[in-house]
Structure 1
Amino acid sequence: MKSAILYFLSVLFLFTNSAFARDGVKLIKANSPKISIRDGSEGKTRYWNHLIKSQSPIVYHLAKNGKMRQVVFYTDVDSISMQVEAEADYSFKVLLNESDTCTVILTTKNHQYVKQNNPQNETDTIPFTLNQNKQIIIKGSINNSPKIDFCFDLGARVAYVIGKNFDKPNKLVLDGLMEDESVTGLSTEKTSSNNTLQLGNLNISNMPICYIDEAGFLENGGALVGFNVFQNKILEIDFDNKRLIIHNKLPEKINTYTQIEFKQTTGGLYVPVTISNGKKIITGWYFFDTGADNALTFDSRFAKKEDLYNTMAVIGKAGIASSENRVVEAEILEVPTVSIAGFTVENVPALLANESNAESAFEDGVIGIGLQSRFNFIIDYPNSKMYLQTNKYFNDSFLNKDDRPINLIIGISIAVLLSAGFFFWFKRRNSNKLNK
């Protein structure tokens, strides 16, 4: 009798999570096309993706190199949970408005890399430049279209094409929708589900792309490539020689680098950084954002917890554009010492606002390219390890070439700063995973 009761409860538990379609595939219901996802221990995605009933199947990309964890898929009236692992697909169906059945796939499979030249090489090298906004710029193309500029931004979780009427020249088939946040507020953007990205000698297939039909990015338009492209690779950023090197295995020179471990989320990676305000030494986790054009940023929650306010010299003021389409006042502080992997940099300018815009619960700040460019990095995404060494820029002053303090430049750039990106106004750090 006891075993019969347990069996009945087990069956009841299964049916409380989801029903089944006629073909035996799990089925959940939705009255709205908007969905959300909770991936592992992270919170539910803040902004919605869309069910597109004309697509079959609809594919949502999860974090690629996460370990076994629980993922929950939410509609407005129902949900389904499952245990997922790397390099796998998970299929179910959604009954939309009691009439349309949408097939959904959650995937942790990595994008496919095909080498155009020298397929036996263990590395691929892509040269880059730094533009006047301190963005890393590489040349590439989408769907075999003419080459365009790509902003290399490890603070972005998806790829973007941005420019007025820039979809057709890049052969984008706009077949989906996602909601996204910029400093102008929440907006619904169009997406293209299946594209090929050409970077150097690499063809990267099965790439979803968000298209933003707005002018102002990289002068005449361009693209932005995020960390999701490299999640199963070892990525080297060589500021000395201005090149990105994509490795399949750790290079032998790794012995000359210093190793640290980092945390990965669906939004990006976080590295441990230690600062001293002259009175105490404090370690926190900082978002590693190559799209942030300043050196360092403190989150206000972290600053309050560690009593950082009114403890360091104020060397300027800044305005930070918030996601509510308003400007938040911030101070530019001079931090006596900042240490990464045991390497110490002195008199570092850092932004501190009175409001928090941290995406992750453990985000204590942002480390931007002003500090990053003083090191060469090797990022081992599959094993969550970073290797770094100082480069020829390590001892450079934080003054610009015309001897104006960097804080003055930041202070007059109100219109182009974001709380987490400090980059152009359209930067979307909080975007959801793209649907297909």
Structure 2
Amino acid sequence: MKIFLKTALIVLLSSQLLFAQRTKLVLRTNSNTVSIKEGSSTYRDQWTLSPKLRPDVFVANPFEGTQHILFFSQTDTLSFQVRPNKRYDFVIVNGLDSAYTQISTYTNEKPTLKPKLRYSKTKNQAWQADTLHFQLGKDNFIHLKARVNGSDNLDFIFDTGAGTNVLTSSLLNGKVKLKIDKNVKNQGADGVSTVDQSLNNSIALQGITLENAPLLLIDYKGFSFEGVLGWTAFEERIVEIDYEKKLLIVHPQLPPLAREYTKLDMKMIAGIPYIKCKVVVGEKESEGWFDLDTGSDG
């Protein structure tokens, strides 16, 4: 038994020594989490250091040619130009802890992170706002024309109360060609249900394209629209809704505001934006959090 323990210890120490010798790349941090940029997708504080795993493997999403992967902390950055079916070793140091880490680009391994929706422009520069024209329907929804995977124009609504994008299931392989990847639980107004999900789709609308877009397939009945754009379609951007001019203006950052505008406190509750408001009924005044839901029929 003692011989076995000594042998195991020697093997363990040897493997750690080989890993240390194989890499001289070090990322320094003062936190137990670091951020990752994979291609154009940024995942902030999504990687938790695991010093007990040797190595702790990050599996990249599939790509062609070369891909840029960045690990970064508040104090340091480590950059990799990677190719498919390779491994890249480095060490993340947090104080006295060393996390032996590896990037794997092998396509037969399950990716660690889901690919993020990518927002690309076909007209404006990166620093410019994008202006989308919409129609305000009789249902008071914001209606936009969009194409999915090269389809003809479809009628979508912009729903700030939806945390994902949705397509009417009756369109599958008729007007729209897409692949069902898995089943997921969906929390809707009528409760929780199991629905089909398609990943890595393209949604094009008026000069912008949303790549890597997930779509839930839901059997909408009694509604005029064919799809839903949730707030995640414009995540990390500022959306201005001008009901008078019927414009949806997507800003890369908060624009200067006129003095007559008033800032309101906002927070996310169960994936839906809420703003703090006062309601006056007669002589009674109440203050509370109200959901900002452009897709509500209430």
Q: Which residue matches 2:249?
A: 245
CA distance in 2, matches of 1:254, 1:168: 47
What is the DSSP-based 3-state SS (H/G/I as helix, E as strand, rest coil) of the residue aligned with 1:274?
strand
Aligned partner letter, 2:229: V
Aligned length: 208
- Is 1:201 the counterpart of 2:185? The answer is no
What is the DSSP-based 3-state SS (H/G/I as helix, E as strand, rest coil) of the residue aligned with 2:181?
strand
Q: Which residue matches 1:270?
A: 274
Contact 2:124–2:130 under 8 Å retained in 1: no
Q: Which residue matches 2:112?
A: 105
TM-score by length of 2: 0.60
Aligned partner letter, 2:142: I
Q: Which among 100, 120, 134 is matched to residue 128 of structure 1?
A: 134
TM-score by length of 1: 0.42
CA distance in 2, matches of 1:140, 1:131: 16
- Is 1:192 the counterpart of 2:198? The answer is yes
- Report the CA distance between 1:170 and its aligned residue: 2.0
Q: Extract unaligned runs of 5+ from structure 2.
A: 1-49, 63-73, 75-101
Q: Deviations over 1:315-373 (max 9, x none)?
A: xxxxxxxxxxxxxxxxxxxxxxxxxxxxxxxxxxxxxxxxxxxxxxxxxxxxxxxxxxx
Once the two structures are superposed, the pairs formed by residues 258-337 of structure 1 within 5 Å of their partners are: 258-265=262-269, 267-294=271-298
Q: Which residue matches 1:144?
A: 150
- Report the CA distance between 1:176 and its aligned residue: 1.4
Contact 1:197–1:204 under 8 Å retained in 2: yes
Contact 1:165–1:213 under 8 Å retained in 2: no
Aligned partner letter, 2:261: Y
CA distance in 2, matches of 1:225, 1:156: 8
Query: Based on CA coordinates, which of the two structures has the bigger radius of gyration?
Result: 2
CA gap 1:167/1:264 in 2 versus in 1, 3 angstroms: farther
- Is 1:227 the counterpart of 2:231? The answer is yes
Once the two structures are superposed, the pairs formed by residues 346-425 of structure 1 within 5 Å of their partners are: none
What is the DSSP-based 3-state SS (H/G/I as helix, E as strand, rest coil) of the residue aligned with 1:137?
strand
CA distance in 2, matches of 1:136, 1:127: 10
Once the two structures are superposed, the pairs formed by residues 147-186 of structure 1 within 5 Å of their partners are: 147-182=153-188, 186=192
CA distance in 1, matches of 2:257, 2:56: 53
Identity %: 30
Q: Extract unaligned runs of 5+ from structure 1.
A: 1-16, 27-55, 58-67, 69-90, 93-100, 295-436
CA gap 1:169/1:258 in 2 versus in 1, 3 angstroms: same
CA distance in 2, matches of 1:266, 1:110: 20
- Report the CA distance between 1:172 and its aligned residue: 1.6
CA gap 1:266/1:102 in 2 versus in 1, 3 angstroms: farther
Contact 1:235–1:246 under 8 Å retained in 2: yes
